[in-house]
Amino acid sequence: MSVHTAIISGSRVYPVKVSCAPGPLTPLWIKGGHLKEAEVRELCLRVQMAMGLSEALPLEVVIDAPKIQDTIAAYDFPVALAMMIALEKVPLPTDRLFAMGELSFVGEVRSFRGAFPVARAIASGNLGDFDQVLFPRMDGCDAEALAGGVSLDRLVLPCTLDEVADYLRGRNRMTVAAGSPVQLSSLSERTETQVRESKAFASNGSLGCTPGCGRILLIGPPGSGTIARQVGSLLPKMTRVESEEITATCSIAGFSPGGLIHHRLFRAPHHSITAERMFGSKTWPGEVSLAHNGVLFLDELTEFEPSVAQRVLRTKPHKLPWLSRPALIVAAVQGSGSQVAGARLSKLRPLFDTVFRVRGTELCDD
């Protein structure tokens, strides 16, 4: 019998099957999954220790995964579950099982990056129809947050492999307690003072055209960039699709939002950031992707590496492996600076749609 799981590549989720059967007279070995030899040895060791096996058994695990490179996977839990079934430590399930998660050396089922997009793919039926969905306990709210998604009677949230074994033997019935989605306040936290300031900026009409501008440059004295933090409050409320998109990206980045993110995120990377951290890689979203549907703020614009700043302002969303369409890109720079800073600004300024001069709390067209 196969245990179903998934891999993540970019913004897409693909189905995977894990099966286990007696192998030749060799220790446990795992084939497939596009794993390197060192990764296979590490996975074998981790699963054996998590299951409490004192010696390697002659088993062969086959991971039937699409031929896609640079993916995010959490094979520990489904491999251990397939081995438990092959070793007859649990009865042969008659249901279609989906499992995904990592394991500690003492058998704890741990969270994994990308729980939310995987749960969304299961809820939409893109990965198939499953009778039971096994997620780490801490990731249950990700699946539960999906309206019309994984029903609570199908969702099993174990903390340890022993709990999984007891559940499959029929000794206990793990239920899911309903919980409310938690917003990702650690990424975008607004104080009461910021709320009052944003209302003041909106009332004077200075930012009236902001939501439709795309790329805005603020020129003014030090501290002018604080205005950019209020811009997000003037943008329209996010739709459910937009909320699911940024929640999935944050989940893959390892932020574990715990539910849908309903507010537009504000990201302000330091000017020393590298290109890889700004734009991400095939397995990790960058700052541009984390600002998807939100605000990307570039303070001290001329201090950024010129190639990074130009790429941020020029890059098209489809050029990156992740959804990367900030609703606004706002940059701030002082009115006077060094000759080098002036030369950099002269090259970057034409890339902006709108340029404002900051005078106090007012913005004037430059």
Please indicate, yes or no, whether residues 27 and 150 belong to a single structural domain of this protein.
yes
128: left (phi over 0), alpha (psi -120 to 50) or beta: left
215/352 same-domain check: yes
In this predicted model, what pLDDT tens digit does every residue of 101-135 receive, in sequence order?
999 999 999 888 888 888 888 888 888 888 888 88
Quote the CA–CA distance of 155 and 98 in Å, as a whole number. Answer: 10
State what percent of residues in the chain have pLDDT above 90.
20
Q: Are residues 93 and 235 in the same domain?
A: no
DSSP letter for each residue of 14-41 = EEEEEEEEE-SSS--EEEETT--HHHHH
Q: Is residue 180 part of a domain?
A: no
pLDDT recorded at residue 81: 94
52-67 pLDDT, tens digit each: 887 777 888 999 998 8
Query: Using CB atoms within 10 A of its CB, is residue 294 exposed (0-12), middle (13-18) or buried (19+)?
Result: buried
Residue 121 lies in a domain: yes
Assess whether 129 and 219 both reside in one domain. Answer: no
Average pLDDT over residues 11-23: 88
In this model, does residue 178 exceed pLDDT 80? no
Residue 301 gets the label, from left (phi > 0), alpha (psi -120 to 50) or beta, of: alpha
Q: Note the Cα 83 to chain centre separation in Å.
A: 29
Instruction: Give the Cα separation of 65 and 17 in Å (integer).
Output: 7
| Average pLDDT score, the chain | 78
- Helices and strands per DSSP (H, E), number in the chain: 11, 18
pLDDT in tens, 76-93: 999 999 999 988 888 888
Percent of the chain residues topping a pLDDT of 70: 78
Per-residue pLDDT tens for 240-269? 888 888 888 888 888 766 677 888 889 999
Tell me if 357 is assigned to some domain.
yes
Residue 33 maps to which CATH number?
3.30.230.10
Amino acid 297 reads F
Residue 177 lies in a domain: no
Question: Which ranges of 183-224 would DSSP assign to H, the alpha helix?
Answer: 192-203
Q: Are 51 and 87 in contact (CB under 8 A)?
A: no
Sequence-separated (6 or more) residues with CB below 8 Å from residue 131? 95, 96, 97, 154
At residue 358, the 3 state secondary structure works out as strand
- Asked if 242 and 352 sit in the same domain, the reply is yes
Provide the pLDDT for residue 360.
67
In angstroms, the CA 277 to CA 270 distance is 11
Q: Please report the pLDDT score of residue 153 as a whole number.
A: 66
Distance CA(7)–CA(117), nearest Å, equals: 10
Q: What pLDDT is attached to residue 211?
A: 41
Q: 103, 136, 168 — which closes off a domain?
A: 168
Torsion of CA 19, 25, 30, 31, to 10 degrees: -80
Domain membership of residue 256 (yes or no) is: yes
Q: Are 235 and 262 in contact (CB under 8 A)?
A: no
The CA R_g of the chain, rounded to the nearest whole Å, is 25
As a whole number, mean pLDDT of residues 142-154 equals 55
Q: Please name the amino acid found at residue 271.
A: H
Q: For residues 95 and 98, give the distance between their C-alpha atoms in angstroms, rounded to a whole number.
A: 10
Q: Do both 40 and 126 map to the same domain?
A: yes
Q: Is 233 helix (H, G, I), strand (E, B) or coil?
A: helix
Same domain assignment for residues 151 and 225 = no
User: What local confidence, expressed as pLDDT, does residue 317 receive?
Assistant: 59
pLDDT band at 6 (very low <50, low <70, confident <90, very high): very high
Answer with the residue of higher pLDDT: 359 or 307: 307
User: Does 232 share its domain with 329?
Assistant: yes
Q: How many structural domains compose the chain?
A: 2
Phi, psi of 13 (to 5 degrees): -120, 135
User: Which pair of structure tokens corresponds to residue 111?
Assistant: 């969270």
Residues β-bridged to residue 298: 331
Residue 182 resides in a domain: no
Domain of 289 in residue numbering reads as 192-365
Q: Do residue 146 and residue 204 come from a single domain?
A: no
Distances from the Cα of 142 to the Cαs of 73, 114, 123, 231, in angstroms? 17, 10, 11, 29
pLDDT of residue 147 exceeding 50? no
